[in-house]
Amino acid sequence: MDKKNLFDLFGIMYSDVKNVLNDINNPKKVAQQYLIEQIKENNFNEDTIKNACVIMNVKKILKRTKNLINIIDEAEQIINKDKSIKKINTPDDEWLEYFEDLSSRVSDKAMQKMWARILAKEVTEESSGITKAMLNTIALLDKESATNFIKLCSLVYTVQVVGGNFYTIPLVLYDMDLTRILQKDGMMYNDLKKDYLSFCPTQNDLQYLSELGLIILSEADRGADIYSQEVMDLVFKGNESVLESGSIYDEEGKYYYIVTGQVNFTRIGLALYDTISSEKYPYLDILLSKFISYQNSEDYLINPL
């Protein structure tokens, strides 16, 4: 892939931008001198004011341009590593303008990598599903909330209802739920619980991600679930494990269900998850196995999740 193609999408002259205006140490002074000269030459008009404003804001403009260049560079590295990609698609002009405006404000390297993955996905897939509304939501993420969302992505497992729907879900369990599913494991219980709780975003962190529209939190006293009027056979996949389970019958509600945890992705959250590359939580398979096994045990009838 020709590097020029991706930069051309944004109208950036890659070879020129990095050094442009670097010699201006005092933009305000230069702008004042420029205005004085234009007034002396009787050349003071609307364009003169615009030019002076550009000069005064040159450092801000240069910083945002460099941010965008870093993001495009990172996106190209992602694309070049994927040998299956044959061409670069041209997104909608309005999408590109919106992406440029929002992403160029981002200076943090980790956040720039997230925006680079979004760009790479948009220009290599016919229908990435990343809308301008999603970009606006993603722009509200600061470094801390982005880190917390990436942690959720590390906790993701999938559920396939045999003959039915497919779900992508982060395994978020509260303290009491962990106690129930690990209570018979002695020291392993203590160590695993401590490690998981130190890794998983806190309730306040999750609440903020919920307010951003990336996740849906279940009620405090009840986990989220998948339910059906019919008996369900389910296949769970973690990092390397594949687990099978039946559904639980609710006598009062007259339906079948399985509890999936305390959090679900929204449409925007799922689209962002599909974009992000994150390493799986090392104990995901153990927790998922304990979580499913507990729901199929007699203990669950006494202390449901």
- Domain coordinates in residue numbering, the chain: 3-139, 145-302
- pLDDT at residue 219 is higher than 50: yes
DSSP-H helix ranges across the chain: 3-8, 14-17, 27-40, 46-56, 58-81, 93-103, 109-124, 132-139, 143-154, 175-182, 186-199, 203-211, 267-275, 284-295, 298-302
- pLDDT at residue 139 is higher than 90: yes
Amino acid at 44: F
pTM to 2 decimals?
0.78
Q: In this predicted structure, what is the pLDDT of residue 62?
A: 77
Q: In this predicted structure, what is the pLDDT of residue 168?
A: 97
Q: CA 276 to CA 121: how far, in whole Å?
A: 10
Mean pLDDT of 26-51: 68
- pLDDT at residue 3 is higher than 50: no
Q: CA 56 to CA 63: how far, in whole Å?
A: 13
Alpha carbon 186 to chain centroid distance?
Answer: 36
Percent of the chain clearing pLDDT 70 (strictly above): 80
Neighbours of 217 (CB within 10 A): 16
Three-class SS of 181-221? HHCCCHHHHHHHHHHHHHHCCCHHHHHHHHHCCCEEECCCC
- pLDDT at residue 18 is higher than 80: no
Mean pLDDT of 102-125: 92
**157: nearest Cα among 260, 43, 297:** 260
Mean pLDDT of 3-29: 56
Mean pLDDT of 290-296: 91
Q: In this predicted structure, what is the pLDDT of residue 11?
A: 62
